[in-house]
Amino acid sequence: MAKTRIFSGVKPTGHLTLGNYLGAMRRWADEDQHRADALFCVVDLHALTVEHDPARVRRLSRQAATLLLAVGLDPERCTVFVQSQVAEHARLSYLMECTATDGEMRRMIQYKEKAAGERARGGSVRLSLLTYPALMAADILAYGTHEVPVGEDQAQHLELTRDLAVRFNQRYGPTFVVPKATHPQVAARVMDLTDPTSKMGKSNGTTAGIVYLLDEADVVRKKVMRAVTDAGRDVVYDRAERPGVANLLDVLAACTGGEPAELAGAYTSYGALKKDTAEAVVELLRPVRERHAELAADGGYVDSVLRAGADRAREMARPRVDAAYRAVGL
């Protein structure tokens, strides 16, 4: 039987966060690349769905690609590339727009939240923010992907991708594999340290509650020590009633390999929990930062990895995207 095909990506809309790492990237490096035929992508087209600065997107794409290698993705084992260098994504996205309905797109929670945010700031909403899930479906379906390792925030988009694959196959004949999402057992949704009711997102307005992968150790310590905790003093694991403490326990568990509920029993104060969590995060990120610095100093190497990755990805995607064009009558 053919090897499992895995695809996933990160968006260069900001500096990558601890949420990106624990929710997705760490598994890509530690597990997925070793057990499957995997592709990992900096999805830069997705960064244009909100107001953007061209030079910043270019810089962040580069940094994200470098971080993919820094967390341990090995270009000998998996394919690492930048989405816009493989035209098949945009080509297939159009067919996905012709398969989806506008109602489906408007129901996406991420669209509703981000569109409301843009409007509240007095800005306008780019049409591509609405059609984003069509491009995401194309990213995944172009490769015959079986599994998509993502954080929980992407579950709804993945469901839509599955619906589109099934619909396309029913209408035009079997063309796409119907993929499924996989989520990590712990820290599938890392929350903002200053507002544990919203997810730690790289494009959140404030940065105090977000740990970035390239934050210096002292910055990480400061952010974790200032994390909002809950009323009450006892350390219990309850995501609904005690979201701040639960978030710290999730992060600590994800860093140390423990169980959040069990870890709770080992603490009698929030201060001690924060201190251990801060140190665990610092240790987790230390090698990533070091490796990033080495790689960033060797631009030629990163360029050659991305070029080879894009060539390989194009080869993999083209036959299926061509087949999809033929299937719809073009």
Q: Is 243 in the site for ligand ADP (CB under 6 A)?
A: no
CA distance 150 to 8: 7
CA distance 9 to 66: 13
Residue with tokens 């895995």: 6
Annotated ligand binding at 124? The verdict is no
Binding segment for ligand ADP among 6-14, 111-119, 267-275, 303-311 (CB under 6 A)? Answer: 6-14
Binding segment for ligand ADP among 10-18, 66-74, 126-134, 167-175 (CB under 6 A)? Answer: 10-18
CA distance 90 to 57: 18
Query: What does the angle CA 235 – CA 238 – CA 239 come to, to the nearest 5 degrees?
Result: 125
> How many angstroms separate the Cα of 163 from the Cα of each of 104, 158, 208, 318?
10, 9, 38, 22
CA distance 131 to 140: 15
Give whichever of 9 and 309 is closer to ligand ADP, judged by the CB atom. 9
CA distance 60 to 219: 20
The verdict on whether 199 is a catalytic residue reads: yes
Annotated ligand binding at 19? The verdict is yes
Closest CA to 327 of 131, 175, 152: 175
Give whichever of 188 and 263 is closer to ligand ADP, judged by the CB atom. 188
Q: Say which of 3, 112, 180, 202 is annotated catalytic.
A: 202
The verdict on whether 3 is a catalytic residue reads: no
Burial of residue 35 (CB within 10 Å: 0-12, 13-18, 19+) is exposed
Q: Is 201 in the site for ligand ADP (CB under 6 A)?
A: yes
Q: Which of 5, 6, 15, 23 binds ligand ADP (CB under 6 A)?
A: 23
**Shortest Cβ contact with ligand ADP: which residue?**
23
Q: Is 196 in the site for ligand ADP (CB under 6 A)?
A: no
From residue 259 to residue 298, the character string flagging contacts with ligand ADP as x (rule: CB under 6 A) and all else as - is ----------------------------------------
Annotated ligand binding at 151? The verdict is yes
Work out the angle between the directed axes of helices 155-172 and 109-120 (0-180°, nearest 10).
120
From residue 149 to residue 188, the character string flagging contacts with ligand ADP as x (rule: CB under 6 A) and all else as - is -xx-xx---------------------------------x
> Which amino acid, 77?
R
The verdict on whether 202 is a catalytic residue reads: yes
Q: Catalytic residue positions?
A: 114, 199, 202
Rule CB under 6 A: which residues touch ligand ADP?
A: 8, 10-11, 13, 17, 19-20, 22-24, 150-151, 153-154, 188-190, 199-203
Binding residues for L-tryptophan: 139
